[in-house]
Amino acid sequence: MKKPSVLFVCVHNAGRSQMAAAWLRHLAGDRVEVRSAGSEPAEGINPVAVEAMREVGIDITGQTPARLTWDAAEASDVIVTMGCGDACPVFPGKRYEDWQLTDPAGQPLDVVRQVRDEIRQRVVELLAGQRDG
C-alpha cells in the first residue's frame, strides 16, 4: 500500500506550512509523506516560527521555502491550504482542507505560539482522519 502524502501550501512557505509539515513529520514519523510549498516562496523561514517550534523540541532551521509545483500537488493525496485564497491552485480529484490560521509573519512570539498549537491540533485531527482512509 502506498503511503499517504500531504502537501501544505501557504503563500510564502515560511511559517504556517513549515510548522504544519514539521508537526506531521514529528507525529506521523515515516507513515506519511510530507511536502510543503508556497505560491510565492519567501527567502527564508520565519525566525519566530523557528523559535516557536524549537520550544516544543522540533528544529525547522534546515527547511527552505519551496515553490509550489504541479508535480508536488499531483503526487499528493491531501492538499492543505492556509490563507492563500486564489493564489492556491486547485487540482481536480484531490482532497482539500483550508485551514484559516493567523499568518505568523511579523507577529510576536506569543501569537506564533498560538498558531503553532492550533496547527498541532489540526495535524492530529488530520492524522486521525487519515487512518481510516
Question: So which residues are the catalytic ones?
Answer: 10, 84, 88
What 113-117 contacts at long range (C-beta under 8 Å, 24+ apart), as own/partner pairs, is 113/52, 113/55, 115/15, 115/16, 115/19, 115/52, 116/19, 116/49, 116/52, 116/53, 116/56
Closest CA relative to residue 18, chosen from 48, 63, 56 = 63
